[in-house]
Chain A
Amino acid sequence: MTPMIRKLVFGFAGLALLVFSGISFYQSRRLKEPVVVSDGVTQVVRLSKYFSGVEGTANDCNMYILEGKEPGATFCILGGTHPEEPAGRLAAWIFAENAVLQKGRLIVVLSANRSATTVTRVGGAYPPEFSIPTSWGEQGFRMGDRWSNPLDQWPDPEVYIHYPSGQYLAYVDVRNLNRCWPGRPNGTLTERTTYAFMEMIRKEKVDIVIDLHEAELQYPVISTIVSHEKAQDLAAIVSMTLTDMEGFKMGMEFSPKNLHGLSHREIGDFSDAAGLLFEAPEPFLDATRGKTNTEQLLTGKDDFVVRAGQHGLLFEKIDANGWPIDKRVGRHTSAVLQTMVSWTEMHPDKPMVCDSIPRYADVVARGLGQYLRNPALAKPGRIWYE
């Protein structure tokens, strides 16, 4: 091959790579995810309503506000803090599309770090999107990553120093929404996002913020509630009730006092609200996982992770049945509902009563697709996009 021909061949191969991968990245970044809001939703606002510093950015997400006929407490559910943990987003989706409030107010966020929903992890081989089967067809969702998209926030510093504690953290975590609480108004996009949420929490007088996550089985903080000390009694009751009544194990631990940037620490420290974080098991995040594809993501079946478990390397059990997405989402819906019930028992003067949300057993029996609504049948004005 002459050098000229070689250059041409490589040039065209590079161009083809650019075009084909570019199309894929463009499509997944712009995949529209419909939300057919529940009748209980009385208002949909943007995050920038509370802090204009996120206006016009990727992180100016929707907030679905549901109001009961009677006053009561205000809860906030954060889905999509880490979009690569889909059960968190999907459980919040079920609330936005189905919940009807009797008492109190509920603010639902589906893409807390919207920027992170538009990117997949380099070297991680994630699928660009995944879909959930429903009775009316399939609904597609962006896969997302743990960190904000570098297209929206770059470069990273040499070391990430948390505000205001001054704690040193890994440089990539400067784009991790759950290491950037409570944020600051003139900070990075991720810090401005958490600051906007803090403003919302303060202005709307939120009582409880629930941050929905999933974790790899090799991670010790799993299948548990992490609670700020303000909400420790509530978390303890929820954990015990779920373990006794619903047939799945749910632990409870305290938010470490000296670990900064996490929602369960900083929301409680910097507002009147208390932060709770729920973790469900997601074998897709395990480093020993086998094939990286949507099937693994949604069934949680993986022989390699099972083998790691047989050698005592995991903090949650796993067998050939895996950890299907229905189970993971069901854990979250039940945990949120139980938090509302237990809260109301503890604060009868400030109740929080929510209907039409399936508990664990229902989601597992019927499949979470049963609770996703058909955008084709949405009434005008009742459909939104994430």
Chain B
Amino acid sequence: MDLTTYASLVLVVMVAAYAVAKFFKLSTEISMFIGALAGCVAGGFGISARHIAEGAMTYLDINLIFITATLFMNILKESGGVAFVVRGLFKRFHHRRAILLVLLTVILLVPGALTGAGSVTVLICGGMVATVLVSMGVPKVKTAAIVFIIAGLSAAAPPVSLWAMMTAAGVNMPYVGFFWPLMIPCLVAGIATMFILGWKGKPAETEEVLASLPAAPEGMNWFKIILPFVVFLGFIFLGRTWPHSTVVTGLPFMFLCSALVSYILSPLKLNFLRISRDTVNQLLPLLGTLTCVGILVQIMTLTGVRGLLAVTTVTLPVTIVFASLFIVLPLSEAVLMWGAAPVIGVPLVLLFNTLGLNPIVALAGMSIIWPLGDALPPTAIIGRLTVDVTGYKDSYAQFLKACIIPAIIMIMIGMLMVIYSKQLGFLTGL
């Protein structure tokens, strides 16, 4: 049997096993694991404990960042910090709608930017921002769409963008120079979404709104909110200014320190262990996904399925690749979640490299499009979570419809960034 036939057969078995698992309502991560196992057996490697274990470790460091950053965000929320910020901004700016909309966009961008997960944005501040938006007269369906879209953008936003990190790792490219290529489009698309969906609406009475928001505890102030971020930035600053006399601690430790500072400064008495447990419970499906994506990619690499996808992608006509990005990327995200990055992202970046495009800007552009898949079946994790958290009760289809205009904006920005990546190369600062 030649290599193409062999790898194609293994791919078919993997897809079939995944589909069957999904049909029996198993979660995406378990379905990916079953797909990987089936591929391993079909490829003639039996059930290789070594490859399963090694693949599962692929994203260990990213998982640690994920856990510690989310713990930090959760402590900030439970200490009343997030409520304090939202109430404060609302009180100060409720007469100036434009400013308030911009600030709410920034608040939504922060948790996902730090953790790399849109779902963390939704959980940390989705509910509160939704309350403010509804009180500003924005319809619930549009509110849900705003939270979902900006949560997606926050995941793509720097410093932690898992799609960009995982793809870059897959092509031996440093995760360096991504800050502005990711930051600018995320801010532009985020603010545009906020204004397009949130500009119209008759605001409610200020007192009514404040009553419906969670209370900010006595003793909370701006200093207590900003200090933990200063600690985090301080670590980065120290490490970059005196790299050869600073101990290497790694990002997870830095986030853990910020979490501890936030915990110590909290005006409310918090149960650290309970919040840690809740954090891990909350993240379990996402940690599971990253772990199983690692296994899946390892088995695809082992059996040559990854090579088949890579060689097929890099030998396709360029126009077809460009024209199908806006379907392929969200669809791969819907099926594989972050697995889309190593499986689809890596061969695309290889192709862009050989075309002489700027791989950093092109990959950043792709990272803006990927999050759209989080609203689509079969997974739709973040879409459903958003609908829950914002309290939107009507049909899911209506919610998707409300997302269309911002989605088109994101697709346009992303595709233009890919096509004109060479001209935008200056954004990387390299």
With A20-B50, A157-B239, A307-B315 known as contacts, the answer to whether A291 contacts B58 (CB < 8 A) is no
One of A16, A120, A155 near B250 (C-beta < 8 A): A155
**Of B90-98, B198-206, B221-229, B304-312, the one with at least 4 CB within 8 A of chain A:** B304-312
**Contact across chains for B53 and A17 when beta carbons are under 8 A apart:** yes
> Taking the complex as formed, is A303 at the interface, i.e. its CB lies under 8 A from any CB of chain B?
yes
Mostly, the A contact residues are loop
**Contact across chains for A21 and B54 when beta carbons are under 8 A apart:** yes
With A157-B243, A157-B250, A161-B243 known as contacts, the answer to whether A288 contacts B311 (CB < 8 A) is yes
One of A123, A161, A302, A311 near B301 (C-beta < 8 A): A123
B95 to nearest A CB, angstroms? 41
A217 to nearest B CB, angstroms? 12
B293 to nearest A CB, angstroms? 9
Q: Which of B248, B302, B311 has the most CB of A within 10 A?
A: B311
**Contact across chains for A21 and B49 when beta carbons are under 8 A apart:** yes
> Taking the complex as formed, is B303 at the interface, i.e. its CB lies under 8 A from any CB of chain A?
yes
Bound-complex Cα distance A22 to B52 (A): 11
One of A124, A170, A304 near B3 (C-beta < 8 A): A304
Q: Which of B57, B306, B307, B347 has the most CB of A within 10 A?
A: B307
One of B251, B307, B314, B342 near A290 (C-beta < 8 A): B307
**Proximity string of chain A (99-130) to chain B, C-beta cutoff 8 Å, 1 when within and 0 when not:** 00000000000000000000010111100100
Chain B residue numbers with a CB within 8 Å of A174 are 248
Bound-complex Cα distance A161 to B238 (A): 12
Residue of A nearest to B51 (CB): A125
Chain B residue numbers with a CB within 8 Å of A19 are 49
One of B51, B169, B236, B301 near A158 (C-beta < 8 A): B236
> Taking the complex as formed, is A218 at the interface, i.e. its CB lies under 8 A from any CB of chain B?
yes
Bound-complex Cα distance A305 to B315 (A): 11
Bound-complex Cα distance A16 to B170 (A): 29
**Contact across chains for B304 and A289 when beta carbons are under 8 A apart:** yes
One of B3, B50, B315 near A21 (C-beta < 8 A): B50
Bound-complex Cα distance A174 to B307 (A): 28
Chain B residue numbers with a CB within 8 Å of A163 are 243-244
Chain B residue numbers with a CB within 8 Å of A25 are 50, 53
Residue of A nearest to B430 (CB): A168
> Taking the complex as formed, is A71 at the interface, i.e. its CB lies under 8 A from any CB of chain B?
no
Chain A residue numbers with a CB within 8 Å of B248 are 155-157, 174, 188
Residue of B nearest to A124 (CB): B301
Chain B residue numbers with a CB within 8 Å of A290 are 3, 6-7, 304, 307-308
**Contact across chains for B49 and A17 when beta carbons are under 8 A apart:** yes
Bound-complex Cα distance A334 to B333 (A): 49
**Contact across chains for B347 and A311 when beta carbons are under 8 A apart:** no
**Contact across chains for A291 and B298 when beta carbons are under 8 A apart:** no
Bound-complex Cα distance A24 to B60 (A): 20
Mostly, the B contact residues are helix
Total interface residues in chain B, CB < 8 Å? 57
> Taking the complex as formed, is A171 at the interface, i.e. its CB lies under 8 A from any CB of chain B?
yes
**Contact across chains for A161 and B240 when beta carbons are under 8 A apart:** yes
A175 to nearest B CB, angstroms? 11
**Proximity string of chain B (134-146) to chain A, C-beta cutoff 8 Å, 1 when within and 0 when not:** 0000000000000
> Taking the complex as formed, is B175 at the interface, i.e. its CB lies under 8 A from any CB of chain A?
yes
**Contact across chains for B250 and A308 when beta carbons are under 8 A apart:** no
Residue of B nearest to A313 (CB): B354
**Proximity string of chain A (146-189) to chain B, C-beta cutoff 8 Å, 1 when within and 0 when not:** 00000000111111010110101111111000000000100110
**Contact across chains for A303 and B315 when beta carbons are under 8 A apart:** no
A333 to nearest B CB, angstroms? 28
**Contact across chains for A122 and B294 when beta carbons are under 8 A apart:** yes
Bound-complex Cα distance A25 to B49 (A): 10
**Contact across chains for B310 and A287 when beta carbons are under 8 A apart:** yes
Bound-complex Cα distance A123 to B50 (A): 11
**Contact across chains for B53 and A187 when beta carbons are under 8 A apart:** no
Chain B residue numbers with a CB within 8 Å of A308 are 311, 314-315
**Contact across chains for A287 and B346 when beta carbons are under 8 A apart:** yes
One of A125, A166, A168 near B298 (C-beta < 8 A): A125
B357 to nearest A CB, angstroms? 14
Chain A residue numbers with a CB within 8 Å of B315 are 307-308, 311, 313
Bound-complex Cα distance A302 to B2 (A): 10
> Taking the complex as formed, is B350 at the interface, i.e. its CB lies under 8 A from any CB of chain A?
yes
**Proximity string of chain A (275-318) to chain B, C-beta cutoff 8 Å, 1 when within and 0 when not:** 00000000000011111110000000011110110010100000
Q: Could you tell me which residues of chain B, from 254 to 305, have a CB within 8 Å of some CB in chain A?
A: 254, 294, 297-299, 301-304
**Contact across chains for A123 and B55 when beta carbons are under 8 A apart:** yes
B233 to nearest A CB, angstroms? 11
A367 to nearest B CB, angstroms? 25
Bound-complex Cα distance A124 to B307 (A): 12
Chain B residue numbers with a CB within 8 Å of A125 are 51, 54-55, 298-299, 301-302
**Contact across chains for B58 and A303 when beta carbons are under 8 A apart:** no
**Contact across chains for B174 and A173 when beta carbons are under 8 A apart:** yes
One of B7, B168, B298 near A124 (C-beta < 8 A): B298
Chain A residue numbers with a CB within 8 Å of B52 are 17, 21
B3 to nearest A CB, angstroms? 4
Chain A residue numbers with a CB within 8 Å of B175 are 170-171
> Taking the complex as formed, is B388 at the interface, i.e. its CB lies under 8 A from any CB of chain A?
no
**Contact across chains for B249 and A155 when beta carbons are under 8 A apart:** yes
Chain A residue numbers with a CB within 8 Å of B294 are 122-123
Bound-complex Cα distance A168 to B240 (A): 9
Chain A residue numbers with a CB within 8 Å of B55 are 122-123, 125
With A156-B61, A303-B3 known as contacts, the answer to whether A291 contacts B310 (CB < 8 A) is no
Bound-complex Cα distance A95 to B60 (A): 39
Q: Could you tell me which residues of chain A, from 175 to 231, have a CB within 8 Å of some CB in chain B?
A: 184, 187-188, 218
Chain B residue numbers with a CB within 8 Å of A120 are 54
Binding site for B on A (CB under 8 A): 16-22, 24-25, 120, 122-125, 128, 154-159, 161, 163-164, 166, 168-174, 184, 187-188, 218, 287-293, 302-305, 307-308, 311, 313
Can you spell out 12 A-B residue pairs with CB atoms less than 8 angstroms apart? Answer: A20-B49, A20-B50, A120-B54, A155-B252, A170-B168, A170-B176, A291-B3, A291-B303, A291-B307, A302-B3, A303-B2, A311-B314
Apart from A159-B240, A288-B310, list 13 A-B contacts with CB within 8 A: A16-B49, A22-B53, A25-B53, A122-B57, A125-B298, A156-B250, A163-B244, A168-B174, A184-B244, A287-B171, A290-B3, A305-B311, A311-B315
Binding site for A on B (CB under 8 A): 2-4, 6-7, 43, 49-55, 57-58, 60-61, 168-171, 173-176, 236, 239-240, 243-244, 248-254, 294, 297-299, 301-304, 306-308, 310-311, 314-315, 342, 346-347, 350, 354
